[in-house]
Amino acid sequence: ENLRSAKNGCRIGEDPPVKMILCWWFLLASHGCKGRIRGSQPSEEALYQASSFQCRDGTRKIPGSQVNDDFCDCPDGSDEPGTSACAISRYLVRPGEEELPGEHGKAQFYCVNEGHVPRYVPLSMVDDGFCDCCDGTDESEAGLCSNTCTMRAKGADGTRRKEDSVKAMAKARKADIGRAVAQVAQKLLQQQEELKARGRKIIEVASSMKDNRMAQYRLSLQLAELRDRLERNDFLLTKDLRLHLASVPTCLSTTPISEKKFAGGTKNYVAKDYVFTYCPFRHVTQVAADQRAWAESNCLARLGNASASAHACAAEGQ
């Protein structure tokens, strides 16, 4: 009640000094001294600017001076969007009676967070000594919270760019899989026609060699093999090839392999190290592990460390 009385009597130049301090506090937090209503979202500003305030649950109408006065007047706590006065009473409201915005329908403190993303925090976190809003508006103590919204926005932008990059890669891979599915399906159909043609040829040959039991036996084995391949291809064509190809790793890379293992070498030549990368249905690459370092080392091996021209080898590594 003392807080409410001090607020209603807020006048510049009045005594005692305590009233001046309270006036300054309410200049930021209350409706009595005009400005943005602390803790309310922009779309609700008009609800708090009138001379009287209707509780959001419709149970009471109170003077506008009692908004954000650190005293819970409305059963639903809607008169205290910028203080923690109604933090406990919010949980006593019956389900279905709350229409205030915020997570899970509970009345919460609205952080403007200019330059970053607005958010809600529970009323119990208001003026608790911890900075929950990046703009620091949830704490009225001067100097307690610095505005970190710009810094957080930069960090969020970096995270967003990484996420966009991952999404782009996933989209490209999905397109690769789609093309691979079409190619594999086309190849299977082509193989089916070729296998059927070979089967007809085997049957034709077998019918002309009825008296040759050995030839008949060999042809029957070939026909059985063709039949197995046809059944396997039919099975693959009835399955979702996309699911199978999606399980294939994006790319596989080897550890560095020295060309000396498969190409040999001489004393005046430094063997290169290669990394082989295989990306299924996309490409295969062979890349020298460290081309610049190799160029300089190979130059020294070719000319000799004691050579007058050895100093020029550094340029080859550039």
DSSP per-residue codes, 165-189: HHHHHHHHHHHHHHHHHHHHHHHHH
- 47-82 confidence digits (pLDDT tens): 888 888 988 888 888 998 888 888 888 888 888 888
The backbone torsions φ and ψ at residue 108, rounded to the nearest 5 degrees and listed phi first, read -140, 165
User: 């996933």: which residue's tokens?
Assistant: 170
pLDDT at 265: 57
Non-local (6+) Cβ contacts of 255 within 8 A are: 275
Which stretches does DSSP call E strand in 118-184? 119-122
The ranges of the chain with pLDDT < 70 are 1-35, 88-107, 244-250, 261-268, 281-282, 289, 305-312, 314-318
pLDDT at 70: 87
In this structure, is the dihedral angle defined by the CA atoms of residues 14, 15, 17 and 23, taken in order, positive or negative? negative
Contact 138, 126 (CB under 8 A): yes
Q: C-alpha dihedral over 221, 227, 233, 238, to 10 degrees?
A: -150
Q: Is the pTM of this model over 0.75?
A: no
Joined together, the tokens standing for residue 272 give 């290169």
pLDDT at 178: 79
Non-local (6+) Cβ contacts of 268 within 8 A are: 301, 302
Please classify residue 107 by burial: count the beta carbons closer than 10 Å to its beta carbon, then call 0-12 exposed, 13-18 middle and 19+ buried: buried
The DSSP element (H or E) to which 291 belongs, if any, is helix 291-303
Q: C-alpha dihedral over 219, 221, 226, 229, to 10 degrees?
A: -170
CA distances from 114 to 77, 136, 279 (A): 26, 11, 45
Task: Please provide the average confidence, as pLDDT, over all residues in the chain.
Answer: 75
Distance CA 80, CA 97 (A): 17
For residue 94, the 8-state DSSP code is P
Contact 109, 120 (CB under 8 A): yes
Contact 274, 287 (CB under 8 A): yes
Contact 230, 257 (CB under 8 A): no
